[in-house]
Amino acid sequence: MEYLPVTVDKSHLITIGERLYSESIELIRELVNNAYDADATEVHIKMTDEFIEVRDNGTGMDREGLKQYFNIGSPEKISKAKSPVFHRDLIGQFGIGKFASLAACECFEVHTQKGDFAAKVTFDKKEWEKEGDQWNLPLQILPPDKERGDGTTVTLLRLTKAFEPEEVMRKIVEGTPLKASNFVVRLNGVRITPRSLSGHRIPFLEGTEFGPVHGEIIILPSSTASPVELGIEVKVKQVTVKRKFFGLEHWGKTLSRIRGGACRFSAGHHRSFRVCSG
């Protein structure tokens, strides 16, 4: 009996990371959602022309946590489902989102601390490719910083794309659970707040083959109607996955007054939940 080794070329991982999202701006949203999964109460995003930094005060990672962080396709979040401190429904699943950073930079650093353990891992695309078949990343053990406390900071260096703060804010409003309790996100010192729309609200609760769907439709006043971001948001775990018209396309200009959100838990959850629409 002989066995053949199964190998994956490192270039494939880089290609997947670079093409993971249709818009590379979504990678910042992913980093914020990772902080949410880590029970962070505050996330601070700093953007300059030279770098992007996403810093949180979550649980941080020890040595084993870092190994898990860089374990591609790990089912850990699927099996655990809830965060340990606030029992949040975990947003991330397959652990490849971090490599979406390669769509916007050539290098990213992960600086983390948990208790007495502190370390920095550097993923340099050029250096990693030089190592051939080796899949090792440089790990630097650091003295713990009691003033900093637990948490993780991801820094994108040698940026290859520019981002507008307004666009980043829009993506975060649309795709992160800003309405969750004990969760605040700031960009360059400014707090990002969820949208709040006024109008006639029509709540709904429907049973589907995937479980209950709960949400509301908002009919905006004519004075606040807008052709921007039309449609009903479809959310899973408080994150917008798509927008749909649900047969309302023929409503013409009236469609600009329709907003709302349809929400459900991911497969395996039996309860419905409501996220304020808009």
Q: Tally the domains of the chain.
A: 2
Tokens describing residue 132: 């051939």
Task: Name which of 155, 205, 172 is nearest 47 in CA terms.
Answer: 155
pTM: 0.73
pLDDT for position 46: 97
Q: What are phi and psi of 12, to 5 degrees?
A: -65, -40
What's the chain's average pLDDT? 79
Tokens describing residue 176: 């992160």
The pLDDT confidence band at residue 237, using thresholds 50, 70 and 90, is: low
Give residue 70's identity as a one-letter amino acid code.
F
- Which domain-ending residue is among 191, 220, 235? 191
* Domain at 256, CATH number: 3.30.230.80
Whether 112 and 132 map to the same domain: the answer is yes
85 assigned to some structural domain: yes
The pLDDT confidence band at residue 19, using thresholds 50, 70 and 90, is: low
pLDDT at 275 over 50: no
52 assigned to some structural domain: yes
- Say how many residues make up the chain: 278
Residues 6+ apart with CB under 8 A from 119: 63, 66, 111, 112, 113, 139, 140, 141, 142
**Contact predicate 251/277, CB 8 Å:** no
**Residue 163: C-alpha distances to residues 20, 55, 159, 169 (Å):** 17, 18, 10, 11
Q: Average the pLDDT over each of 13-22, 59-68, 111-120, 145-154 and give the range with the smallest value.
A: 13-22
Q: What is the sign, positive or negative, of the torsion defined by CA atoms of 71, 73, 75, 77?
A: positive
**Contact predicate 31/105, CB 8 Å:** no
- Structural domain range at position 236: 200-264
The half-sphere exposure of 46 on its side-chain side, counting CA atoms within 13 A, is 10
- 98-131 pLDDT, tens per residue? 666 777 888 999 999 999 999 999 989 888 888 8
- Please give the Cα distance from 155 to 98 (Å, whole number): 11
**Contact predicate 111/153, CB 8 Å:** yes
Tell me which of 213 and 188 has the higher pLDDT.
188
The whole-number average pLDDT for the span 150-179 is 90
pLDDT at 42 over 80: yes
269 assigned to some structural domain: no
Residue for token digits 């921007």? 228
